[in-house]
Amino acid sequence: MNFLSLVTGRPGPSGFGSASTAEQVTQGMDASNLTVLITGGASGIGLETTRVLALHKAHVIIAARNMDAANEAKQLILKEDENARVDALKLDLSSAKSIREFADNFNALDLPLNILINNAGIMFCPYQLSEDGIEMQFATNHLGHFLLTNLLLDKMKDTARTTGVEGRIVNLSSVAHIHTYKDGIQFDNINDKNRYSDKRAYGQSKLANILHVKELSRRFQVNTEVAEEGVNITANAVHPGLIMTNLFKHSAVLMRILKFFSFFLWKNVPQGAATTCYVALHPSLKGVSGNYYVDCNDVKPSAFARDEALARKLWDFSSKLVSSVSKA
- The residues, ordered by sequence, that sit 6+ positions from 200 with a Cβ below 8 Å of its Cβ are 179, 180, 181
Give dist(CA 308, CA 289) in Å, integer: 14
Does residue 196 carry a catalytic annotation? Answer: yes
Checking if the pLDDT of 243 tops 90, the result is: no
| Model confidence at 247: pLDDT above 60 | no
Residue from 127, 181, 196, 202 carrying the catalytic annotation: 196
Per-residue pLDDT reduced to its tens digit, 298-327: 999 999 999 999 999 999 999 999 999 876
Closest Cα to residue 59, out of 22, 30, 34, 25? 34
Q: Give pLDDT tens digits for 25-78.
A: 999 999 999 999 999 999 999 999 999 999 999 999 999 999 999 999 999 999
The model's pTM? 0.91
- List the chain domain ranges: 3-327
Quote the strand ranges of 69-228, DSSP E. 85-90, 115-118, 167-172
Q: What is the mean pLDDT of residues 114-140?
A: 97
Task: Tell me the average pLDDT across 238-254.
Answer: 63
Adjacency order of strands within the sheet including 233-239? 85-90, 59-64, 35-39, 115-118, 167-172, 233-239, 292-294, 297-298
Q: Quick check: 261 pLDDT over 90?
A: no
CATH class belonging to 3-327: alpha beta
- Condensed to tens digits (0 to 9), the pLDDT of residues 144-199 reads 999 999 999 999 999 999 999 999 999 999 999 999 999 999 999 999 999 999 99
Sign of CA dihedral 165, 241, 41, 237: positive
Q: How far apart (Å, rounded) are the C-alpha atoms in residues 304 and 293?
A: 16
